[in-house]
Amino acid sequence: MADWGFFTNHGLVLASIAKQPRSTAREIGDVVGITERTAHKIIKDLEQEGYITKVKTGRKNRYRIHSDVPLIDESSDVAVGELLAMLGWKRRRRSPQKEQARAAG
């Protein structure tokens, strides 16, 4: 097997979150093949750059992807949602009531 890959760990963590937004850092680390601590650091990086928002739900976290944020390494206007869509991600639609509440608040 090759000792290189097409995606960085940051990209793999983001793709993992896109598939399972309610995963724990440990679960994300297991999927990507990194430690839980490294997964936490990458999640923090993605939050700080505006790619995701962590939403606390009870004792667990849920992650929301901001698909309109441009990719860092690209000189074009490609957004993270376009990359994830090529990988099979389908953006979850919000209910009309939640959209109205968000717009009003």
The answer to whether residue 15 scores a pLDDT higher than 80 is yes
At 50, the amino acid letter reads: G
| Sole residue written with tokens 């290189």 | 4
Rg of the chain over Cα atoms, rounded to whole angstroms, equals 15
Q: Which residues pair with 53 in a beta bridge?
A: 64
Asked if residues 49 and 69 have their Cβ atoms less than 8 Å apart, the reply is yes
More confident residue, 8 or 28: 28
For residue 2, being part of any structural domain is answered with: no
The amino acid occupying position 22 is R
Domain range for 97 is 9-104
Q: Select the more confidently predicted residue: 91 or 5.
A: 5
How confident is the model over 60-81, as a mean pLDDT? Answer: 81
Look at residue 98 and tell me if it is in a domain: yes
Is residue 4 in some structural domain? no
pTM reported for the whole predicted model: 0.75
Q: Where are the alpha helices (DSSP H) in 20-95?
A: 25-32, 36-48, 80-86
Question: How many structural domains does the chain have?
Answer: 1
